[in-house]
Structure 1
Amino acid sequence: MKINRKNDGLALAKKLHDKKVTPFELVEEAFKKLEIENSKWNAVIHTRKEKALKEALNNDFSNTLFGGLPILVKGLGQDIAEEPSTSGSRLLKNYCAKQTGNFTKALEKAGFIVIGQTNTPEFGFKNITDPSLYGPTRNPWNGDYSPGGSSGGAAASIVSDMVQISGASDGGGSIRIPAAFSGLIGLKPTRGRTPIGPGSGRGWQGASISFALTKSIRDTAAMLDVLQTVQELAAFQTPLFEPGYLNSLQQSPSKKFKIAYSLASPVHSPVSLDAKKSVLKTVEWLRQKGYEVVESTPNIDGVSLMQSYYTMNAGETAAMMANLEKTFQRALTIDDMELMTWTLYNTGKSISAATYSNSLAAWDTAAETMAHFHETYDLYLTPTTADSAPLIDANLQTDEQIERMKQVTKLTEQEQQTLVWDMFSASLAITPFTQQANLTGQPAISLPVYLTEKGLPMGVQFTAPKGKEDWLLSIGYEIEKAGLFI
């Protein structure tokens, strides 16, 4: 298969502005595609057809960049008032949002029409998309495989041509992993770059951020232009890029970056030959184009850093469930949630404030190490994932691990933390490269440069210093123009 990258969001937006097509016609067409394609891939879990068509007819899109373009948002943290807000959880299957989130408001202000919501694993905890509430999303490249997670529905919605751009979010790779598995462009912006709230000033202590999946670099740049913000309500802020990303992309020649690359998993797990080939192919091209490329790895204990990430996951899950218990006015049980969530929840209840605080301090130490690393190297290149997409029915926990997860309340604090590491070990081995940028707050991008012999996409990841998304877009644009995208 081949993704039509020329038929991107900006191409359709130009047709809208040139009056060659109307927003109503595009929304109608999107729903026709959705009705045909979604039964195959299970990418979309909720639609708002009547409201979207009404907005297409009545809203004024004349002064917007995207001019009435249909878009899907992720069914996790990208709320629309009075629409479902389930987070992929059966506990919240009947819950509707009371207000529209700031991220979604920014999409609407940019001229998008939200036509529905995409599938996501329960609370976004997995790198695959298979919630028990909605069932698994399938990869349009090959339906036997997953498109990844947690923005798996978003990825499948683009590859199957339901929409050109889809809302996504990334707390540990949840934009970049589906991008790599699905042949798309996945940027995780700098911490604090895009809207958050209302009612929340940070996501996962700054690890999680909302953005989008796209099929062209210029769409990615345009999305940054319309979504970049400085919010007084937010815990983290980053200065606006005043030149504008799309304008800078089209006007400026590429800087000759000094680039470090690594083929080694930060958690010492195996890295497939395909993953290594994807990087080495990119390294060869970079050197041919005059970039200085050196094999070098930052001095970060990846295992310890991942342990701190899981500490945060567990602690945040316990806090979320405590709030839900107040909402439902009852104790939550194992029957209310998926087993992975139950394990994180109970582990989080056992974690001390000191342990939690030290886990966040480890993030800051890693961020300082990366800041020094970037004094020598502009960009850091790795595989996005250590292997291609897993099968839909892949067993990512053993029977023994599942039994221990059911008994999590009977374990000691240390046994629980070991169990969390073990239950994620198989999935982490597939995607060990993405989490670090979430914890350091840096921007990172996955670029679709490689296809395995099985016909499955893989990506390479570039990481830049904080605030330097323009560097990532610049190198991505050069690679795209050279025809390296699959």
Structure 2
Amino acid sequence: MEWKDATAMAQAVNQKQVSAKELVQETIDRIEKLNPALNAVVSKQYDEALKEAEKEDYLGKPFAGVPFLLKDLGQNEKGQPSSAGSRLFAGRPAGHTDTYVQRLKDLGFIIVGRTNTPEFGFKNISDASLHGPVNLPLDPSRNAGGSSGGAAAALASGMVSIAAASDGGGSIRIPASFNGLIGLKTSRGRIPVGPKSYRGWQGASVNFALTKSVRDTQRLLYHFQDYQLEAPFPLANLSEEEVFGKLSRPLKIAYYTKSPVGSKVSPEAVEAVQKACHHLVDLGHEVVELSEYPLDGVALMKSFYLMNSVDTAQMFDDIEAAFGRQMTLEDMEVMSWAIYQSGQTIPAKLHSKALLDWDQFGASMARFHEDYDLLLTPTVADVAPKHGQFDLPADLLDRLKHTQNYSMEGQQDLIWQMFEDSLALTPFTQQANICGQPAISLPTYVRADGLPIGIQLTAAKGREDLLLQLADQMEAAGLLNL
């Protein structure tokens, strides 16, 4: 049976029009049929899901009996695989259940497996050496994106009606754009964290989901949000009216189509924003073109790479303690090794300064949103990349393998070179992560060959209500290609 979205599934289960076991079996059949061509799902827990579906304690819950795929990165369920796309953790079960995962189960979801992701989520494509690349359903010669690429491909192909995702620099919004989906990156502090990790990438990384309808996005946000006082970034909950209500006034929306890091933006990505502007004006909103980007995009990215380097070095300290030995290049992909090694040489004072810079970036955006309700940009600079498009040249790979031999400045320069081409494709998403703001990718534009490019709307911290209310208005006007 075809379902509009996860809300429709849950309603049918709660009204006993279909059983959760039937939905789970349908999902299993779809995964088995579609996954061999896409490589989106990397671990399966079918028996457990079918057993869980026979219970009825999920009835009455907002996502009662809805089959669900977790992302195989930072979404741990005790006793289930949790590889993070890394050979180091292949076949190793998680030792605990994350709060995020438990809350999903509390909402009525039934977990059927986990989706493919790049090693440790460092890339904007999914091509881990452990599991292999994820194919874009619309064009298997292209990558579905990252780091939530497996989730996006599973959802876009129809394996599931909603899929878990996470976003540390665009990892929800980027694959949402490539696959024609809705991708909301929530405000820092909106979604519950813990019990082991409370500040992924110093608060830049958040868990949420990819969806095919605005109402699924609204429903999940409303029931998932938590004013979590034990967490480092508590954020007051949005009301039911704020999440599900209609816009009460026209919005003032600024737009910008140039790359924040000076790279090329495709004509189609620019056209996607321009068309959206026309539609927004028709809906009664005020649209203003910016002459310059609100932040220094290059400085922002350099601070992001520096933070990531230090946090990765700390992560590998924990891994070494767990394994009882030092990590080597043979344990990981070259990109992970280079980031890990670069984190060994950064003084604590520079890491502290980077976080202070993040505070200033956030304060600048707070001031920006005193004048503008939303910022509109392309989500990405072009359509999904071809497989191998970001393969690194041999000389750079060799230098990355010997990152430990370079000075701190030389290491950071290598990190910049390593990401330069892929960053050029996705230069618009990281600002929201660093500033803790909510941002959403909406599927409003399709290239002549059928490949989508999303538009991104960013709001002030805590103002998902504006994003959801505008998305709902646009969906009602038929402006979303879902």
Partner of 2:323: 328
1:14-413 counterparts in 2 under 5 A?
A: 14-243=11-240, 248=242, 250-253=244-247, 255-296=249-290, 297-413=292-408
Whether the 8 Å CA contact 1:396–1:426 is kept in 2: the answer is no
Question: What is the CA–CA distance in structure 2 between the aligned matches of 1:451 and 1:254, rounded to whole Å?
Answer: 30
Aligned to 1:474, which of 457, 469, 478? 469
Question: What is the CA–CA distance in structure 1 between the aligned matches of 2:378 and 2:3, rounded to whole Å?
Answer: 25
Deviations 1:261-283 (A, max 9, x none): 00111111111101100000000
Whether the 8 Å CA contact 1:37–1:160 is kept in 2: the answer is yes
Shift of 1:350: 0.8
Whether the 8 Å CA contact 1:149–1:178 is kept in 2: the answer is yes
Quickly say closer, same or farther: Cα 1:175–1:254, change in 2 above 3 A: farther
- Is 1:437 aligned to 2:432, yes or no? yes
State, as a whole percentage, how many aligned pairs show the same letter. Answer: 47
Deviations 1:398-428 (A, max 9, x none): 2221121112111111110000000000000
TM superposition score normalised by structure 2: 0.97
Question: What is the CA–CA distance in structure 2 between the aligned matches of 1:151 and 1:187, rounded to whole Å?
Answer: 12
SS state at 1:114 partner: strand
| Partner amino acid, structure 1, of 2:39 | N
Aligned to 1:422, which of 417, 423, 436? 417
Question: What is the CA–CA distance in structure 2 between the aligned matches of 1:482 and 1:316, rounded to whole Å?
Answer: 44
Whether the 8 Å CA contact 2:71–2:165 is kept in 1: the answer is yes
1:442-481 counterparts in 2 under 5 A?
A: 442-481=437-476
SS state at 1:145 partner: strand
TM superposition score normalised by structure 1: 0.97
Shift of 1:217: 0.6
SS state at 2:442 partner: strand
- Is 1:13 aligned to 2:10, yes or no? yes
Question: What is the CA–CA distance in structure 2 between the aligned matches of 1:355 and 1:397, rounded to whole Å?
Answer: 28
Shift of 1:111: 0.6
Question: What is the CA–CA distance in structure 1 between the aligned matches of 2:364 and 2:400, rounded to whole Å?
Answer: 35
Question: What is the CA–CA distance in structure 2 between the aligned matches of 1:368 and 1:58, rounded to whole Å?
Answer: 48
Question: What is the CA–CA distance in structure 1 between the aligned matches of 2:411 and 2:429, rounded to whole Å?
Answer: 24
Question: What is the CA–CA distance in structure 1 between the aligned matches of 2:373 and 2:187, rounded to whole Å?
Answer: 15
Deviations 1:165-205 (A, max 9, x none): 00000000000000000000000000010011111221100
Question: What is the CA–CA distance in structure 1 between the aligned matches of 2:470 and 2:143, rounded to whole Å?
Answer: 28
| Partner amino acid, structure 2, of 1:291 | H
Question: What is the CA–CA distance in structure 1 between the aligned matches of 2:462 and 2:353, rounded to whole Å?
Answer: 26
Q: Root-mean-square deviation (CA), in Å?
A: 1.4
| Partner amino acid, structure 2, of 1:268 | G
Whether the 8 Å CA contact 2:14–2:60 is kept in 1: the answer is no
| Partner amino acid, structure 2, of 1:257 | L
Quickly say closer, same or farther: Cα 1:321–1:251, change in 2 above 3 A: closer
Deviations 1:203-241 (A, max 9, x none): 100000000000111100011012101223311111011
Quickly say closer, same or farther: Cα 1:58–1:289, change in 2 above 3 A: closer
Whether the 8 Å CA contact 2:222–2:243 is kept in 1: the answer is no
| Partner amino acid, structure 2, of 1:470 | D
Shift of 1:5: 10
Question: What is the CA–CA distance in structure 1 between the aligned matches of 2:48 and 2:294, rounded to whole Å?
Answer: 52
Provide structure 1 residue ranges, at least 5 long, that are not aligned to the other structure.
none
Question: What is the CA–CA distance in structure 1 between the aligned matches of 2:2 and 2:347, rounded to whole Å?
Answer: 49
| Partner amino acid, structure 2, of 1:429 | A
Provide structure 2 residue ranges, at least 5 long, that are not aligned to the other structure.
none
Question: What is the CA–CA distance in structure 2 between the aligned matches of 1:254 and 1:218, rounded to whole Å?
Answer: 18
Question: What is the CA–CA distance in structure 1 between the aligned matches of 2:145 and 2:382, rounded to whole Å?
Answer: 12
Whether the 8 Å CA contact 1:189–1:442 is kept in 2: the answer is yes
Q: Which runs of 4+ in 1 moved over 3 A?
A: 248-251
SS state at 1:219 partner: helix
Question: What is the CA–CA distance in structure 2 between the aligned matches of 1:22 and 1:342, rounded to whole Å?
Answer: 47
Question: What is the CA–CA distance in structure 2 between the aligned matches of 1:76 and 1:255, rounded to whole Å?
Answer: 40
Whether the 8 Å CA contact 1:254–1:474 is kept in 2: the answer is no
Whether the 8 Å CA contact 2:77–2:94 is kept in 1: the answer is yes
Quickly say closer, same or farther: Cα 1:267–1:166, change in 2 above 3 A: same
Shift of 1:154: 0.4
Question: What is the CA–CA distance in structure 2 between the aligned matches of 1:70 and 1:226, rounded to whole Å?
Answer: 17
